[in-house]
Structure 1
Amino acid sequence: MAAPASSLTSVLVALSGNTLVTVVKFLAFLLSGSGAMLSEAIHSAADTGNQVLLFLGLKRGSRERDAAFHYGYGGERFIFGILSASGIFFVGCGVTVYHGIQSLLHPHTPEIGPSTFAVLGFSFLIEGGVLVFAVRSTLKAAAGQPFFRYVREKADPATVAILLEDGAAVLGLVLATVGISLAYFTSNPVWDATASIIVGLLLGLIAIYLVVENRALLLGRAVPEETELRFVNVVRARGSVADIHDVKTRQLTPETFVFKAEVRFSEAFVAARLAEALPVSALPASGEARTHALSGVAAFLIRALSEEIDAIEADVRRAIPEAKHIDLELEHLLVPGAVAAPAPVRGVVAVP
């Protein structure tokens, strides 16, 4: 259950860029004393730490399934995603907003000079380059699908986090530049503090969104409605299936879906397969020979139903490549006077 290579590459590129920018921003803050610059430095430091968590989540989540976890470790990506979002909220948002409020309550004029604007320009080039790389990687992974729809429904949570963090970093730089510039030209530190608070609130909104998204995937969100409908249509398209119901779906990861449903085979299909095994008129009247013949018919029918289930599953996987686990239950077809069996026959397949 390996994570997409594009997500891993985007995280590593973002991690490298943010590490460099963090160091430069803290140096600029030490030189200028700007609250907005400190907010940007904290923002970049939080992004760096969060991207380390995303990298760990991708690596741990790509481990193969084993006897302890039959469906693999893909859910670890969402656990580390929540940890990363918590870091954005408490460090990126909390510390930044706190510092901005403190600057409003106890204003002091920052020492702003050409080096401050040089650092902002350098940071914008690095952060912008990382954002462009992340967007291009996502467009490539989307393979022609609408960009925002792909990000909302199918993109890996780590990819979404990188896009939002880098987008917020670029927007935060713009806001910080505006605040620092106004403070520089008006000699009023309120502008610098206000920019710091706005950047912090922006990070808070992003953190909340990422927590909600990762929580939904960790709980096992259903596949998109159109994907479920495609699954139902593929199963119904088989001439052997008379009905399908009790459909349940789950996304283990954005690349791995689970489908479960009850299907009822048509009487005509079952009768035709039985006729292939042995015409009723050819059955011995009674005795051991009849029992032996019926056992052969039963074995043939079981094999025929198993092969049909395999064929249905193959059709589903051709239509939905993410369908890694498919669980089909055969619904009982009761004949008047017959007694229902205690449990459904199951056809379960899990891709190794």
Structure 2
Amino acid sequence: MDEKSGESLTTVLVAGAANLTIALAKLVAGVVGGSAAMLSEAAHSAADTVTEVLLLVSVRRSGRPADRRHPFGHGKAGFVWAMMAAVATLVGGAGFSITHGLHEIAHGERLSNLTLSYVVLAVSFVMESVSLTRSVSQLRAEAARYEVTPIRLVRATSDTALKAVLFEDVAALAGLLIAAGGLLGSHLTGSALWDGAASVAIGLLLLVIALSLIQANLSLLIGQAAPPQLETGIRAVLVTQPEVENVVELLTMMIGPGAVLVAAKIDFRDEASAAGVEIACDEVDRRLRESFPGVEQVFLDPTPTRRR
């Protein structure tokens, strides 16, 4: 397992441990207080815990080395398991929260002592903040490595484990604030409407997060290209090779978290000999791997530029 996979694994483990503890505490508080919002938060954290388990599998499977049946490695397995994690959030978290919230709005269950719920929400906020701090720390480190802003990196990154944990931590903190608002509203007014509405809002938040992650993983599974900035850098390395006249076509594809395949049709200079072209291809391969650590496969096809 490389250093980057190790960082993602640590991030997932921290988030998973926090979510499991928080889920149990929220469940107890929800049962004691009779709050739909707290039970929705318990379902939220439980779904996040399942998600972390699937992301753990994702990190482990994607880090397996290439073999004869999988010559490009097992990187895309990470996208498959991350997709399943997003579906778990959609079904387990969003589905339960919305349906349970609507049930409380319709039937209006009476809330009892909410002191435990407030304590659990406060402690959960601290624990989720620790998990988010870890995610943001890794994000900033990777952004500095690629010389881009953290926001730009999270939009383009193929490290789906990092993206999922980051999104879930942000959603968790937002969900805690929504739940606290719902409890306070019901506490002050005596109406369960606020608590039920908070539960529905938490479900809709999870729905948006899950659909966003599903879309991102689906794009990677189909064969998403490398970020434009990376493609620009790769093209720059190709055209600066003395034997290269022109880059006829450049194709890239993400074959795993942070792993890139490069295929290019190159118009070499007419005076370049066959041996010179071979040496140039080998040099380009070396330079691309050194300049961009994520480049794992390079295929160059000598192709003349079509003249009109």
Cα separation, 1, equivalents of 2:58 and 2:17: 17
* Distance apart, 1:222 and its partner CA: 0.7
Q: Which residue of 2 aligns with 1:9?
A: 10
Greater shift in the superposed pair: 122-131 or 160-169: 122-131
Determine which structure has greater relative contact order: mean sequence separation of CA pairs < 8 Å that are 6+ residues apart, divided by chain length. 2
Distance 1:146 1:49, change over 3 A: same
Letter in 1 for 2:37: A
Q: Which residue of 2 aligns with 1:30?
A: 31
Q: Which residue of 1 aligns with 2:241?
A: 238
Letter in 1 for 2:302: L
1:200 aligns with 2:203: yes
Cα separation, 2, equivalents of 1:127 and 1:235: 45
Q: Secondary structure at the match of 1:325?
A: strand
Q: Secondary structure at the match of 2:242?
A: coil
TM-score by length of 1: 0.82
1:313 aligns with 2:285: yes
Check conservation: 1:40, 1:176, Cα contact below 8 A.
yes
Q: Secondary structure at the match of 1:267?
A: coil
Distance 1:333 1:50, change over 3 A: closer
* Distance apart, 1:71 and its partner CA: 0.6
Q: Which runs of 4+ in 1 moved over 6 A?
A: none
1:84 aligns with 2:56: no
Check conservation: 1:6, 1:138, Cα contact below 8 A.
no
Greater shift in the superposed pair: 196-205 or 248-257: 248-257
* Distance apart, 1:219 and its partner CA: 1.2
Residue identity over aligned pairs, in percent, reads 31
Letter in 2 for 1:116: S
1:173 alignment partner, one of 164, 172, 176:
176
1:94 aligns with 2:95: yes
Q: Which residue of 2 aligns with 1:137?
A: 138
1:187 alignment partner, one of 185, 190, 193:
190
1:220 alignment partner, one of 220, 223, 228:
223
After TM superposition, the structure 1 = structure 2 runs for residues 270-309 of structure 1, keeping only pairs within 5 Å, are 270=273, 301=274, 303-309=275-281
Greater shift in the superposed pair: 177-186 or 153-162: 153-162
Check conservation: 1:34, 1:112, Cα contact below 8 A.
no
Check conservation: 1:112, 1:184, Cα contact below 8 A.
no
**How much is the aligned-residue C-alpha RMSD, in angstroms?**
1.7
Question: Size of the alignment, in residue pairs?
Answer: 303
Q: Secondary structure at the match of 2:127?
A: helix
After superposition, give the CA deviation of every residue in 1:63-100 in whole Å (9 maximum; x if it has no partner): 11101100111111111111111111111001110000
* Distance apart, 1:155 and its partner CA: 5.4
Q: Which residue of 1 aligns with 2:50?
A: 49
After superposition, give the CA deviation of every residue in 1:157-186 in whole Å (9 maximum; x if it has no partner): 111100111111111010100100110111
Greater shift in the superposed pair: 70-79 or 322-331: 322-331
Cα separation, 1, equivalents of 2:229 and 2:305: 29
Cα separation, 2, equivalents of 1:146 and 1:4: 21
Q: Secondary structure at the match of 1:327?
A: strand
Check conservation: 2:34, 2:109, Cα contact below 8 A.
no
Letter in 1 for 2:118: F
* Distance apart, 1:128 and its partner CA: 1.6
- Max radius of gyration: which structure? 1
* Distance apart, 1:127 and its partner CA: 1.3
TM-score by length of 2: 0.94
Q: Which residue of 2 aligns with 1:159?
A: 162
Q: Which residue of 2 aligns with 1:68?
A: 69
1:59 aligns with 2:60: yes
Structure 1 runs not aligned, ≥5 long: 271-300, 335-352
* Distance apart, 1:332 and its partner CA: 5.6
Q: Secondary structure at the match of 1:92?
A: helix
